[in-house]
Amino acid sequence: MSARFAGSCVVTIALLCGSCIARGDSPAPKAAEGDWTMPSGDYASTRFSPLAQINGTNVGKLAVAFTFDTGVNRGQEAAPIVVGDTMYIVTPYPNVLYALDLSKPGAPLKWKYEPHPEAAAQGVACCDVINRGAVYWQGKVFINTLDGNTVGVDAATGKQLWKTRLGDINKGESITMAPLVVKGKVLVGNSGGEFGVRGWIAALDAATGKIAWKAFNTGPDKDVLIGPAFKPFYPSDRGTDLGVASWPPEAWKIGGGAVWGWISYDPQLDLIYYGTANPGPWNADQRPGDNKWTSGMFARDPDTGQARWFYQFSPHDLHDYDAINESILLDMPVNGVRRKVLLRAERNGFFYVMDRATGQVLSADPYGFVNSILRIDLKSGRAIYNPAMQPKAGRVTRHICPASPGAKDWNPSAFSPRTGLVYIPHINLCMDEEPSEVNYIAGTPYVGMDERMYAGPGGNRGVVTAWNPVLRKAAWEIKEDLPVWSGALATAGDLVFYGTMDGWFKAVDARTGALKWKFKTGSGIIGQPVSYRGPDGRQYIAVLSGVGGWAGAIVVGNLDPRDATGASGFVNATRDLKDKTGPGGTLYVFALPQ
């Protein structure tokens, strides 16, 4: 999407009749020249392409237009970025940034930029050495490196413009998220909740790389940038220095709450929205209290970083339910009244519709199997935990659903204004848990929980759900054998694209879920598909293939499938993955035959 159009409006949907699904009554922001400048596609995080050349009648003819080997066979979670005649790809560690020339056959290399991150950063990456993508803004490309740096690169030449260190790998900090540029500020957060880091989000001047503001997610109000403008909807989030008072003494300093997921921006309200990750350690007995401001989301002023409101999805998080998932910004009817809302398929298994001006929860419904939380109390906003599923020292608590990766992990949903549906790529896993006492040592794991994950009800480990946010129920659902760890893409051709961990790239009908096309790539797909218009005027679909991440750790880490606790218990759920796919690192780009 052209930078001048990115986020220029918020998608709206309207309910046409009581029995039909929500349908778009205005288009998503149009992608100028078919560009795709940020992983989310737009500031509203719809991941919707208005291109319709590829549709349900011809998608069966889709074929490979070209491929590109990244040279890094680790988890490929990034979204390709396209501006004009150039595609930009950032790899997992060592975070090489490639620029490909789309105006020439085979898209040859224009240039590459190598940031040379510190090798020691690989040791503090909890869940593979992944990177979730670059962002383009006004002639510059911005990337994050695993060792805690943000870099500005000249988009035309690949020359480094500036490099700013934000994280400290000696404390266990890394950066894996994709940055976002809002009003000339590059927004970045840290990873490392499993190492007892203190979570933060920072804004850098896009021209110079200088830090404009930095807000922590634990600690006193002055550090969290909570001031007079902070007006949370629920009383439990009101008070002075709750980021200290809701923790044991000094525990907030190593309390997690990292920012490794997605940021959305509403230019009308002039607010950014982002989620905060799990508190540390996972053993909740060691941190009595609500543990603010973790496992929730902030709305902030992008100019100053000052907090406007906060909502906590999982107070005193019991199960590692990081709240870092994407927020899709829509205007839609709620009980017959049009509201400015944000939609979240949250890790705790509930689909939230929230007022994005105030932080009020308007509805919250399970979109998968959930027994760890009984319900969301709309009056207080609090999750009502199931006492039978709370981990206790000295016992194994069995069949907790969803497991720690949640009903959906980081991999983003997509929204189509044509159908009014949210397309959720997610997982169906449960787990057994047993907490243990853990001590904090800087730069080492700070978890205190043994886990074993396995398939949830039905035996399938993955799901793609089309969710109607107005009717508050699923329109259709696809069950997949393996966890679905890729992002989703919706297009104006009424198609939804996603990948599977055994390497299939699929297109399904956006209205019915019927399979329309599939292609077997060389490795499992955990990347984010995008669509763009090439210099030749044709529509293309692009995705990176390369298994990895937390779900694919058994393959890229060559872990022993007999170790049920490997990769924090994920190995037990994907013992067979080595038999279905191998490591990879290839870009695949598809188009219709000429």
User: Which residues participate in catalysis according to the annotation?
Assistant: 194, 278, 320
Single-letter code of the amino acid located at 313: F
Amino acid in position 201: I
Cα gap 461→466, rounded to integer Å = 17
Dihedrals phi, psi of 100, to nearest 5 degrees? -110, 140
Residue 421 near residue 475 (C-beta atoms within 8 A): yes
Contacts of 335 (CB under 8 A, 6+ apart): none
SS3 per residue for 308-322: EEEEECCCCCCCCCC
**b/e code 234-246 from CB counts within 10 Å (16+ = b):** bebbeeebbbbeb
At 275, which amino acid appears? G
- Give the separation between CA 132 and CA 315, rounded to whole angstroms: 27
* Cα dihedral 246→249→253→259 (10° resolution): -20
Those residues with Cβ within 8 angstroms of residue 527's Cβ, 6 or more apart along the chain or in another chain:
76, 77, 78, 79, 486, 487, 499, 543, 544, 545, 546
**Among candidates 241, 345, 351, 344, which has minimal Cα distance to 289?**
241
Contact by Cβ (8 Å): 258, 252: no
Phi-psi domain of 193 (left: phi exceeds 0; alpha: psi -120 through 50; beta: other): alpha
Contacts (Cβ under 8 Å, ≥6 apart) of 584:
73, 76, 521, 522, 523, 524, 545, 546, 547
Three-state DSSP state, 84: coil
Buried (b) or exposed (e) across 260-290, using 16+ Cβ within 10 A?
bbbbbbbbebebbbbbbbbbbbbbbebbebb
Strands 296-300 and 328-334: unpaired
Residue 297 pairs in a beta bridge with 275, 311
The DSSP bridge partners found for residue 343 are: 328, 353
